Amino acid sequence: ASIEVFFGPKCQASAFSEANVCYSVPAQWSDIALTSIASGSIDAEYIKGIATVIDNYGGKLVNLQRLTDESIKCVDMRVLMDTTKLPAFKSATMEVARQFKIDVGTQPWGAQRRNKQLVCFDMDNTLIQMEVIDELAREAGVEDKVVSITEAAMRGELDFDESLRQRVGALKGAPRSIIDTVKSRLVFTEGAKELCALLKRMGYKLAVLSGGFMELATHVQQTLGLDYAFANTLAYDGDSLAGNVVGQIVNAQRKADLLCTIAQNNSIPLDQTVAIGDGANDLVMLSMAGMGIAWNAKPKVQAQAEFRVNQPCMMNIRFLLGISDEDVKALNMEELLTTACLGH
């Protein structure tokens, strides 16, 4: 398919040299999917920029297709590339994408990316648009003390276990009712409900693995129809918070261990798992999963994660799994395309 078919006459198919379009895989080359995702629309100049990078690294374009029907929000390219040049090629495509404020991901081409079976989500600032412990601190009147600790912990500047103990300790004596107050004003991330509904229909197992608290994680699980919820357990002294948690803290390693346990219990290979999160507490989980996605993440997480999505709409994550608008419609779920993140 030519570029002009998708983007009009301003971007000619000749942006790719004729010699660099092929349909067989040379020996010792990688067969990859290059997925570009925009919150708005991808234009011809971006495609020409990526075409230049493919040519510069001697790559071969096999196919180019859009995964959206109404707008050009996502473009999938199948590219053959000398494996030894792949790291530099990825860096070059990311630089072009950065200039156009587009997210780009590179992964092996084939059925495997469409055959993921488990997705594990972080909760705070991933599935929901708040940091729960900061909201609890606000209700308890100790916001200033807690927020600074949270920010340092999420940047990876403080040991998570100790920072959690300090923050929960600051809540000692607060009324138990603040849990319900915070729960009542949870704001779900745009597209989270639609993405979870789609993945459930497709047979995925879904989990929320949170460094926050079970009272909120259970609510998120029930609202989104998730299969699993794991988080920290707050201790109480009558109708007040006791200022500590009980049981094993859900830190970075615990999240990764839970991902592995859930996968094992469902006979799911690790390479068919996905992890999505935004903070330093998610890094081990992201590296453990077959696909680790930094979602509007902190700089340290963006730098280390294999995939990055920096957009308002969580539904756009589906493109990295190769799920097109046509696929959604085939599942008789096309209403998700009209309710999820209009304009994003």
Which positions ≥6 away from 99 have C-beta within 8 Å? Answer: 49
**Using alpha carbons only, how large is the chain's radius of gyration in Å?**
22
Alpha helices in the chain (DSSP H): 3-7, 44-56, 86-99, 132-140, 143-154, 160-170, 177-184, 192-201, 214-224, 252-265, 283-288, 299-304, 325-330, 335-339
User: How far are the Cα atoms of 154, 166, 286 from residue 111, in angstroms, in the given order?
Assistant: 35, 46, 21
Q: Which sequence positions are flagged as catalytic?
A: 122, 124
| SS3 state of residue 125 | coil
Looking up tokens 């308002």, which residue turns up? 312
Question: Helix or strand or coil: residue 242?
Answer: strand
Amino acid at 201: R
Is there a contact between 34 and 51 (Cβ–Cβ < 8 Å)?
no
